[in-house]
Every structure is written in C-alpha cells, then in structure tokens.
A and B are shown apart, each in its own frame.
Chain A
Amino acid sequence: MTDAVTTVADFRVLHGRVVDAVEHAVHGKRPVVELVVAALFSGGHVLLEDVPGTGKTTLARAVAAALGGTSRRIQFTPDLLPADVTGTSVLDPATGEVRFRPGPVFSHVLLADEINRAAAKTQSAMLEVMAERTVTADGTTHTVPDPFLVVATQNPVDLDGTYRLPEAQLDRFLLRVSLGYPDLEHELAVLRPGSSAGDVASVPVVTSPDEVARFVRDLRAVHVADPLLRYVRALGEATREDARTRLGASTRALRALVGAGQVQAAAQGRHYVVPSDVQRVAHAVLEHRLVLTREALLEGTTAADVVAAAVEAVEVPRPAAV
C-alpha cells in the first residue's frame, strides 16, 4: 500500500506539472486538459470533437510537447491510404533489402486531424493500431512506441465528404471531449497580442515517455472497491436499459470508465477510487459510445442526456457502517 501511496503522490505532482505545461499553450480549459492528460496516463486515446478554431490541434500538440516524446500529425483526407498511416515496406536501393518504413503511427503522440475524412479502409487501419498497438506489414508485426496516444480531432459541423466513424472505432477512444469556446477572461487573454496561446514551442518538456509508461502501468494498482465496480456496472446497466438507447455502454466502456476513474483518483492524490471520480469522467467516457434510437434522435435527445439520466438514477455508494 505504501508503494501505491508513493506512486499516487508522485503522480499527483507529475499530473499537475503536465497540466500546467499544457496550459502554457491552451488557456482556460483546465478541466479538458486534465481529462486529456488523464487519458494519456490511462493508456487511452482521445477524440476531440469541436468546431474549427477552438484549439484542438494545439491541445494535442501541447500534450505531445509536454510529454517530450515523438509526435506526428496526419491530416486525414479521403484519398489517404492505410499505408500512409501505418507505414509500408520499401526496397532499400543501398542494401537491396526490403525494409519497413514506419508510418506516422510510430510516435508517442499521434495527432489524427479530421479523422472522419478518411475512407473506411484507412480508418480501420487506425483502428487496429489503436487497439493492438502493433502494425502488421508483410507478415511482420511492428510494435508502436510506448506510450502511444492517439489524439484525434473531428469537426461535427462540416460533414460534407466525411465518413462517419464506425461505432466499433468510437468505442476504442477512451474519451471524447469538446473544448468549446473559452470564457471572456481567457478569450481576451488569448486575443491580447503577445499571448502565449497556441505557442506550442513554449510548452516545457516535463516528463518522458518512459515515465508515462511507468505510471500507466502503476496506476492500474489504484484501489477500486467492490461497491465502486458495482456502481460502474449499474451505470452501464442504466444506459443499456434506457429506452432511448439502441446500444448502451459496452463492457469495454465500463473498463475504460474504471481506468479513467483510477487516473482521476490518483490525480487527486488518492490511492483509491471514490464515486465522484467515476461521476467526473462518466460523460467523457460514455457519451460517444452510446447509440441512440432514431426516435430519441428525432426528439432531440443527446447521449449526454442519457448519461446524465443514468448518473441521476443510480444510487451512489456512500460510506455506511450499518
């Protein structure tokens, strides 16, 4: 337990440092930044969904910069091929051997811009990398670096020439978050000439990929009591039983919820998860995985409504002695 406590205390410090570093470039979005950083430390991928110009790419690049690892960016287009993403085997004229030339996925942070513009084939190649963290080319399996974080962005407004991400792929994103516009104070700060907003170069490197990989591994040990697991299960059950959903939260979704909860707890300096941790990440983890019925969509129901209803309906486990 002492190990866990030490790990958590270290992580809390590190988490604060990373978030502070990212905030050099992304102003006024601390909750979102915290979520993205948490996803990073729970080994998941993030889908940033927002209108253009809200700082999605900046956020992704800032995270990559603070992490200190390699970072690549793919601008997804309809004509992008799977090999453009994963890499391809080429003949090396110097040696005369066929050699695998790694694609952009071989980096610690992969920024997948406008991921929904790629064709299904390319998207499924991404899917494999995100889930398996390996690339198979010509019968050889190549492992992507550890940690491996995909920060994908998606524009929900301009849907011409886009391919909707399949549910299976959406399910592979740990979180989906929106940045939204900054509030008055922060927007003014961003607008002010000389602002560091968007200046990814100013983001200091505060950790290393190895350290992140270690924490990803160690944070799995954060204690999740049985009532919490039952609470998570009940939340999932509530989304499944909701008449407005065609597809509720999957078991993978609930695992993700537990994992995100663990990182949340550790970020608060706790070596155990409490219900508020789960509640805090529930929306980001669950919303994008729910498929609503046609009727519910016509009525204007959103996935956020369903998750909110589930959180409202499920009784929170509270400390009770008798």
Chain B
Amino acid sequence: MSARGAGLAVTAWACALLLLACVPTAAAFTSPVVLAPLAGAVLVPFGLVALARRLRVPAWATGTAVVALVLVVAASVARVGAVPLPDGTDDAWRSTGAAAALAPVADAVARLLTAPRPAAPLLALPLVVLAALVALGVALALGRRAPARVAPLVGASVLYAAALLLTAGAADRGVVAVALVAVAAAGWVLLGGDAVAREREAPRLGHATRGPRTRWRAGGVAGLVVVALVAAVGVASAGAVTGRAFEPREHVAPPRVPAPAVHPLAELSRWQTDADATVLRVAGTHPGYLTWVTLPDFDGTGWSADLDLRAVGTVVEPSLAPGRARSAVDVEVELAALAGPSGSPGPWLPSAGDVVATTAPRALVDADTGVLAVPPTPDGRLPAGLTYRVRGEVDAPDAARAAGAGVPGGAEVERYLRLDRVPPDLRRYAQDVVAGAHSRLDQATLLADTVRADRELAVDAVSGSSYARLREFLFADRADGGQVGTSEQFAGAFAVLARAVGLPSRVVLGFAVPGGAAQDDAAPRDVRGADVRAWAEVYLAGTGWVRFDPSPDAATATGVAPDARQQDAGTPVEDDVPVDAPQDAPAPDPDADVPPRDAAGGAALGVVALALVVVLGAAGAGTAAALAALRVVRRRRLRAAGAVGAWQHAAEALALRDGPPPGAATSPRLAERMAALTGVDASGLARRAEAAAFGPGAATDDAAAWQQAREVERLLRRGARPARRLTWWFAPPPRAPRSRVSSGTGRPAR
C-alpha cells in the first residue's frame, strides 16, 4: 500500500457515488441549499484523510481526529441553531459534561424526525454528520486493500437509504437508484480491482513509462450483464411491493409536555359577565372564530381536555383524519384582557384549526384538537401583551360532501362517543329527535335545532354540564331552572345528544370574532368578553370537524347587541358549512408560506456554511503554508548536509513524482530511475551521497552536488502530473510504509 492510498480515479469515483447518494435528501427539505453542506461533509473527510496520509498519521488517529472534529463542529452548529426543546426533556444524562455538549446533536435527530415535512434546512445537521462519518469511513477504507471496491457502495447505500427513510420513500422514484447502480458498475468495470491494486502496489522503479491507469477487465461486459440483471430483478420486485412506505417518524416519540388540568368552561361565565372587556385583538385570515380550548372528553359530570402537548412542528397525525377540503388560517392575535395577572388561568392560546407554525415562543400543540399552548407564567396565566402569529389549516366542509358523509368507526372515535351511564331519557330524547333524518348531517342539524328551539340563552344561568344539569336544562320547566342556559349548556347538551345517537362530538370553548370570517384583515378586530362562547363540533368522515353552534341567536340577559353576534350565534348548520367563501379565497401569500423561523434558519445555515467554508479554507491554506515553511526549513538543513542532503533532496523529488520507492531499492537504482525520467545522470550524485553516508569521514559541503540535485528536482517537477505540480511546494514527500524489518537510515556519523 502506498502512502498515496487509493488512486485519484478510485477516490473520485467514491466521491461521485457518495455525492449522488446525497441528492435525494434535498426532497426532505424546503431548500436544496442543504446539498451544499452535504457535499462539503462528503468531500472534506476525503481531503483530511488524504492529508493525514501524506503526513503519515496512522489511520486510527485520523479516524478519531476527524470524528472528533465532526462532533465538535456539529455540536457548535446545533448549539447555534437549536430551538430549545420544551420543558420536560429533562434526561439525567444531559447534565454531565461531554453529554451536555453533545445533547444538541442528539436532539437534532429527534428534531429532524419530528419536524414538519419538508423541513427547514438547518435541521439537516444529523444528515450532514452522517454524511461526514460515512465519507470518513469510505476514505479510510479506500486506504485498505480488500474493501476498497465495496466501501463506496456501502456508504452510498447508507446515505441513499437515509434520504429515503427521511422522506418515507418519496425522495427518489428510481432515477437516482439507477444512476447509483450505473456509477457503481462503471467504477467496478473501468477501475477493475486489479487496476486499483496495481496502481497502489506497483513499484514504478525501473519502468520508464507507466502503464495505463485503468483497464477494461476481461469479464467487464459479463459483469455489466450481471449488474443489469440484478438491477432488473430489483426494479421488478420494487414494482411488486405495494402498501405504505416505512415511516421512521412513527417510531420517534416527540417530546410530550404535561398539561395542567383545569376546567376552562368556568371561564365562559366569567367573561360573559365581563362582556365589554377586550379579550384579544385579531387580524389576518381566519374562519370567523378562534378556538381557545377544545374539550373532547366527557365523563358525565363535565367536559375536559386531556391534551397531548408537543412542540409545534412535531409530525404527529391527528387520530381522526382532517377533512378533504381545508382552508388556510393566517391570523395575528394580540392578547389583551385574556392574558396577564387578571386574565384567565391556563396555558392555551387562541388559534384556529391545526397549527402548522406560530411565532409564539416555545409554543406547544395538541395534534388531535389543534389546541395551541405556551408555557404559562408562574401564576399559571398567559404572558401579558403576547402578540403572535399562527399559520395553519382548518376544515372547510362543503355542504354536498357533508350531506352524504357517514361516521367512522374504530377505536379512534371512541373518545368522541364516550357516554358513561347516560340516562335513558337523554338517549331516548336524542333518538326521537333524529328519527326520520336522512343523513348524519341531518341528524346533527335536527339536534342543533331542537336544542336551540324555545330555549333561552342567559349569561347568568347556572353553569355545569353534568347529566343532571343537562336533563334539567332540557326537560325541566323554566320555573324549575330548565330551558335556560349559557352557551355551555347548549353546546354540552347538543354534544351529549349527538353522542347518544352515535355522532362523534366535542365541545369547544372559543371566541366568535365580530364580523365573521376574514381574509387578509389588516385592521385588528376587538374580541370582547361577550364573544367568548362554547360550541360543539361533530366529526363526519371525509369532511372533518363540522362546527355547530346550537345556542340561540342572542343572549337575553346581556347588553350585547344581537346583530354584533349575528354571524355566529345560532347559525344554522348550513351556514357553518361555508360553500363559497374559504374555497374561493385566493391562495395565501407565498412569502407568508415560509414561517419566519425557517427564513431565519436558512440565513443561519448560509452563515454557518459560509463560516465552515472559510474556516476549512483557512485551515487548508494554513496547513499548506505550514507545510511549505517546514519544507523551506528542511531544504536549508538538506543544503547544509552536503552531498547527502543533495541526494535526499533529489530522492524526495523522485518520491513526489513517482510515489515512494520500494524499500529494497538502493540509491544507484533510484539514480537510474531519475536518469530515465529526466535524462540527467544522477549516478554520480548517488555515489557521492553514499560515500558521504557510508564512507569514513564527515559529510562536506558539496555545491556541485546540490546544483545537480536541484536540476534533477526541476526536471522531475516539470514532468509531474498537474495536481502534483500544484502541491509540489508543500506536500510532504511520500514514504514507503515502514517495512517488516527496518535497518534504519544511513545517516552519516558525525
């Protein structure tokens, strides 16, 4: 094995394979700019390994050093670009020294796998680390003999597989795979193993002309046929496989944050009585209402929410599929009375639909309900004056589809159908109401109409959603406290009755935005205490959650003008199934499509990549300069060493030109080789050097010898390969690896 390691052709082939394997990765990210750091991660280890070989650093030391370098760079980048994980990720191991430094790198994997797809480029860090380590392994393996032809393919397969796993198989439709096979086959055939070994092993001494570096192997065509057959079988079997692609994200548990248990419906009464207080201000695109908390769980005594809060961006599918028709939400919310010391307890942030991105700091989201939350202040309330932007999607059911929609079965909907020990009269009442309905939507509409009919919405009505309170609300006379309720009773009664007839339902506490749905609303609208409402939602297959507000149009005992809440209060179901407005809405601004955090991430990535390039470039230039300086010092010492130094100067030039000489080659043989390459008879030089080195007496200054050595070096350099000529002045002369038996060098006795 020569110190030059694998030949340039083999190295280039390996790099090409690895780079090609990185290409599909771009599909997993919002910008193909990720390919730049990936390419760097592939190429830099090759360069470092080559440099280390020149400097005769052992492979294990090179490997350790580069792994350490990769980890240090990765840890630094991860630290710079990391969005802190939400509270609750308090693994004990993070507290120890090195682990604490590397924790951001470990988190980066979870962050990438739980990020929305396509991910921001900054999240590509684990892939860059993987690419660097794979490239390092391949570069080190190329220095060995046996796995040289396999290692690049193994490395490329790893990177390619990583890209496919990251995108659940969507990254490549076979083009890159075929190209990989083609490049691998071309490498194997064109750079046949014999040629690779020969290029590495052949002592060039005594051969004035070098043989061809690459050669068609005898069985090259046969090998190509075999590769083609294997590829064909692979493609055929790939076509035969059906079903979903493997999704690694399903196996990554996103960090979960425990949510405090409070019963937010009590807040309804509180804000209804404080009707004029400005709760919050809303601008932007929204469906006319904002969700505060969604309460899917009913235990017979009240509605509650067992939320599964996770960092925004986490890829978790809601247990019930969203509707096919959806409309965009892009809303700017400014919290007013809702937040601060006098605001409501609880961490929930008003939002709408399923949140995709938000500017709220350290925001958390529950995938099933879309409830958005932030870590509350120590007193359990929202930070005062918080302004944030929410981008997401909300189900926009269209009437035609909803009319024909059924109700899904299975374990997922059980949560929304749960009615423990429901009183028989409630169930019977519900069944009587829906008798004769033709569709699930009809049933829900009938129930909403029935609950609303002849009943009175009163802000000061008794609160509560237990079976007892609902029976009183539905069945008792007005004198006995019946027929009058807050929107809590209307929504709760509707949801319980819906469940009684098998309609999945939940209660939502939220805000009706005055003026209804808005599109790019620039002027903020004030949402007041009176606009805090409870409503219900029913899930229909293929349609998603359909909003029903069974409360009457106006509250009887509030000063709020009825028309102020016309849009939302007591809207018939058809109105809640908007057919035209959201669908016909123009597409959201494409610029707004990229959340600000991602833009910042891209810029940060650019800066990091630039810094990396600058640092690596500076390191490379510095290394070259240091090596060149060492060479100058060495040349001085050689110059002072007379004939021996002159000979060594020429011999090192020969090694630079030709690779390290075989260990058994004596100086006269090297001189013959020099003569063959340059036409200068260097045998006298060798003779004088041997006389000085092995003869009695000390070395003397020998200007003529030095002159000749410089002439030999100049001619050797002139005939060298262009790449070698470029590095001639600083590359350390390659030396043969230490032989099994060493006899030392012939330094003259002084």
Q: Which residues of A contact B (CB under 8 A)?
A: 1, 4, 223, 225-228, 230-231, 233-235, 237-238, 241, 270-276, 279, 310-322
Find out whether the CB atom of B693 lies under 8 angstroms from the CB atom of A320.
yes
How far does the alpha carbon of A247 sit from the alpha carbon of B177 in the complex, in Å?
58
Q: A313 contacts which chain B residues (CB < 8 A)?
A: 663-664, 739-741
User: B403-411, B491-499, B694-702: which lies at the A interface?
Assistant: B694-702
Residues of A within 8 A of B648 (CB): 319-322
| Chain A contacts for B647, CB-based, 8 A | 318-319
Q: Which 9 A-B pairs have the closest CB atoms?
A: A321-B641, A319-B693, A317-B746, A272-B695, A319-B689, A321-B645, A315-B663, A234-B743, A231-B743
| Candidate in B634, B691, B743, B745 with the most chain A CB atoms within 10 angstroms | B743
- In the bound complex, do residue A315 and residue B741 qualify as a contact, i.e. CB atoms below 8 Å apart? yes
**A227 & B694 in contact (Cβ 8 Å cutoff):** yes
Q: B665 in the interface, Cβ–Cβ < 8 Å?
A: yes
Q: Which residue on A lies nearest to B664, using beta carbons?
A: A312
* Bound Cα distance from A228 to B647, whole angstroms: 18
In the assembled complex, B744 has its CB within 8 A of some CB on chain A: yes
Q: A317-B745, A321-B699 are in contact. List 10 more A-B contacts (CB 8 A).
A: A1-B697, A227-B744, A227-B746, A314-B741, A314-B743, A315-B663, A319-B693, A319-B694, A320-B746, A321-B748
Minimum distance in angstroms from A295 CB to a CB of chain B: 21
Closest Cβ neighbor of B737 among chain A residues: A315
B144 proximal to A (CB < 8 A): no
Query: Which chain A residues lie closer than 8 Å to B110 at the CB level?
Result: none
Complex A-B: 15 CB contacts under 8 Å: A223-B696, A225-B693, A227-B745, A227-B747, A230-B743, A238-B741, A272-B696, A274-B667, A274-B694, A313-B741, A314-B664, A315-B738, A318-B667, A320-B745, A321-B645
With A275-B666, A321-B747 already in contact, the answer to whether A225 and B694 are too (CB < 8 A) is yes
The interface residues of chain B lying within 8 Å CB-to-CB of A223 are 694-696
Q: A225-B749, A233-B743, A238-B741 are in contact. Are A319 and B637 (CB under 8 A)?
A: no
Once the chains bind, are A238 and B740 in contact (CB under 8 Å)?
Answer: yes
Q: Mark B680-698, 1 if CB is under 8 A from A, else 0.
A: 0000001001111111110
Q: Which residues of B contact A316 (CB under 8 A)?
A: 663-667, 743
- CB pair A272–B664 under 8 Å, yes or no, is no
Give complex CA distance A279, B743 in Å: 14
Please report the C-alpha to C-alpha distance between residue A237 and residue B689 in the assembled complex, in whole angstroms: 27
B638 within 8 A of A: yes
Which of the listed residues A227, A274, A311, A320 has the most CB atoms from chain B within 10 Å of its own CB?
A320
Chain A's closest residue to B747 (CB) is A320
Is the pair A322, B746 in contact by a Cβ cutoff of 8 Å?
no
**Given A1-B697, A227-B746, A316-B743, A276-B668 contact (CB < 8 Å):** yes
Q: Which residues of B contact A (CB under 8 A)?
A: 634, 637-638, 640-645, 647-648, 651, 662-668, 670, 686, 689-697, 699, 736, 738-749
Which B-chain residue is minimally distant from A265 (CB atoms)?
B694
Complex CA distance for A1 and B697, rounded to whole angstroms: 9
Q: Does the CB pair A230–B664 fall under 8 Å? A: no
In angstroms, Cα B746 to Cα A279, docked, is 16
Q: Is the CB of B743 within 8 A of A317?
A: yes
Q: Counting chain B CB atoms within 10 Å of each CB, which of A234, A275, A312, A318 scores highest?
A: A318
CB distance from B527 to the nearest CB of A (A): 83
- Closest CB of chain A to B748's CB: distance in Å? 8
A322 touches B641 (CB 8 A): yes
Are B742 and A234 closer than 8 Å at their CB atoms? yes
**Chain B residues within 8 Å of A231, by CB:** 743
Shortest Cβ distance from residue B686 to the other chain A in the assembled complex, whole angstroms: 8
Interchain CA distance A317-B741 in the complex, whole Å? 12
- Of A226, A270, A317, the most chain B CB neighbours within 10 A belong to A317
Closest B residue to A226 using CB positions: B749
B689 nearest CB across to chain A (Å): 4
Residues of B within 8 A of A273 (CB): 694
User: A317 CA to B693 CA in the complex, in Å?
Assistant: 9
Known contacts A318-B746, A321-B747, A322-B648, A311 near B667 by CB under 8 Å: no
In this complex, the member of B692, B693, B694, B742 whose beta carbon has the largest number of chain A beta carbons within 10 angstroms is B694
Once the chains are docked, how many angstroms separate the CA of A14 from the CA of B660? Answer: 40
Listed residue (B665, B699, B736, B747) with the most chain A CB atoms within 10 angstroms of its CB: B747
Shortest beta-carbon distance from B693 to chain A in Å: 4
Of B637, B692, B740, the contact of A322 (CB 8 Å cutoff): B637
Q: Which of B637, B644, B689, B696 gathers the greatest number of chain A CB atoms within 10 Å?
A: B696
B695 contacts A322, C-beta separation under 8 Å: no
Inter-chain contacts of B695 with A (CB < 8 A): 223, 225, 270-272
Complex alpha-carbon distance, A231 and B696, angstroms? 17
CA gap between A199 and B644 in the complex, in Å: 48
Q: A142–B648 Cα gap in the complex (Å)? A: 54
- Closest Cβ–Cβ distance, residue A236 to chain B (whole Å): 10
Q: How far is the CA of A320 from the CA of B690 in the complex (A)?
A: 9
Q: Kindly provide the distance from the CB of B89 to the nearest chain A CB, expressed in whole angstroms.
A: 57
How far is B746's CA from A138's CA once the two chains are assembled, in angstroms? Answer: 52
Q: How far is the CB of B682 from chain A (nearest CB, A)?
A: 12
- Are A272's CB and B694's CB within 8 A? yes
**Is the Cβ of A321 less than 8 Å from the Cβ of B749?**
no
Q: Which residues of B contact A275 (CB under 8 A)?
A: 666-667, 690, 694, 746
Q: List chain A residues, Cβ under 8 A from B696.
A: 1, 4, 223, 271-272
A206 → chain B, closest Cβ, in Å? 28
Bound form: Cα–Cα A35–B726 in Å? 48
Interface contact B743-A322, CB-CB below 8 Å:
no
Contact A234 B694 (CB under 8 A): no
Q: How far is the CA of A294 from the CA of B668 in the complex (A)?
A: 38
CB < 8 Å neighbour of A317 from B670, B699, B744: B744
Q: How far is the CA of A235 from the CA of B642 in the complex (A)?
A: 29
A318, B637: Cα distance in complex, Å = 17
A317: B residues at CB distance < 8 A: 693-694, 743-746
**Using Cβ atoms and an 8 Å threshold, which residues of chain A touch B637?**
321-322
Collect the chain A residues with CB atoms within 8 Å of residue B638's CB. Answer: 321-322
